C-alpha cells in the first residue's frame, strides 16, 4: 500500500469511498455516518488544508484518514492522561469495503503512527462511535485508552488517546 496526501482530483473517488462505507455500516446497523457527514465540503476542506491522506492499492483508494494538529473544543472535556503541548487528532479513518478484511486498517495505523513520531509528536487522540465494534476493537487492540465520552448528532462517541514510544 502506498500512502500520499490527497489532492482535489481525488475528491470524487474519496466521496465514493465514504458513501460505500456508510452504506455498509448502515447494513450492519451502525448509524455512524450519513449524507450530512462526512460530506464533500468537509472532505474538500481536509484536502485543502493538506490533512487528508490516502492509501492506494492497485490504483484505487483503499483507505483514507485525516490528521489535524489541534483538538476540537469538545475534546477539552476529556480526562487526558498525556498533556503534551503538541499532539494530533485522527478523524475519518475509512477503509473501502472492497479492501476490508485484508489488514488495511492495521497497516494504516502502523503508517500514521510512524508519521506522527517522525514529526516529533508522541500523542494521538481520536473519537470512535460507540456502536462501531470494528473501530473500537482496532483502537483498543493498538493500546488506545479511553479518556472520556462525548455526544455528537449521531450518538455517543468514546474519546481515546495513545502515547507513542519513539
148 grid coordinates: 472520556
Digit-coded pLDDT (tens) for 22-69? 999 999 999 999 999 999 999 999 999 999 999 999 999 999 999 998
CA dist., res. 86 & res. 166, Å (int): 15
Return the pLDDT at 72.
53
165 grid coordinates: 514510544
CA dist., res. 66 & res. 14, Å (int): 12
Nearest to 82 by CA among 98, 97, 71: 71
Helix (H) or strand (E) holding 44: helix 40-48
157: pLDDT strictly greater than 80: yes
Enter the CATH code of domain 2-163: 3.40.630.30
For residues 94-112, average pLDDT: 97
Show the DSSP H helices in 31-94 as ranges.
Answer: 40-48
Cell 483508494 belongs to: 61
In our burial notation (b when 16+ CB lie closer than 10 A, e otherwise), range 136-161 reads: bebbeeeebeebbeeeeebeebbbbb
Cβ 150 vs Cβ 73: under 8 Å:
no
pTM of the complete model: 0.93
Give helix then strand counts, H and E, for the chain.
4, 7
CA dist., res. 108 & res. 96, Å (int): 13
Q: 84: pLDDT confidence band, cut at 50, 70 and 90?
A: confident
Amino acid at each position: 500500500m502506498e500512502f500520499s496526501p490527497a489532492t482535489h482530483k481525488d475528491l470524487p473517488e474519496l466521496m465514493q469511498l465514504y458513501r460505500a462505507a456508510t452504506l455498509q455500516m448502515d447494513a450492519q446497523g451502525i448509524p455512524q455516518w450519513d449524507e450530512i457527514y462526512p460530506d464533500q465540503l468537509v472532505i474538500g476542506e481536509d484536502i485543502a488544508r493538506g490533512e487528508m491522506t490516502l492509501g492506494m492499492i492497485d490504483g484505487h483508494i483503499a483507505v483514507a484518514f485525516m490528521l489535524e494538529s489541534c483538538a476540537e473544543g469538545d475534546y477539552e472535556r476529556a480526562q487526558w492522561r498525556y498533556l503534551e503541548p503538541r499532539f494530533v487528532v485522527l478523524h475519518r479513518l475509512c477503509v473501502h469495503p472492497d479492501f476490508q478484511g485484508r489488514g488495511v486498517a492495521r497497516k494504516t495505523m502502523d503508517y500514521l503512527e510512524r508519521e506522527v513520531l517522525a514529526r516529533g509528536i508522541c500523542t494521538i487522540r481520536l473519537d470512535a462511535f460507540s456502536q462501531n465494534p470494528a473501530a473500537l476493537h482496532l483502537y483498543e487492540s493498538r493500546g488506545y485508552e479511553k479518556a472520556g465520552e462525548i455526544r455528537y448528532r449521531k450518538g455517543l462517541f468514546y474519546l481515546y488517546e495513545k502515547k507513542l514510544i519513539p
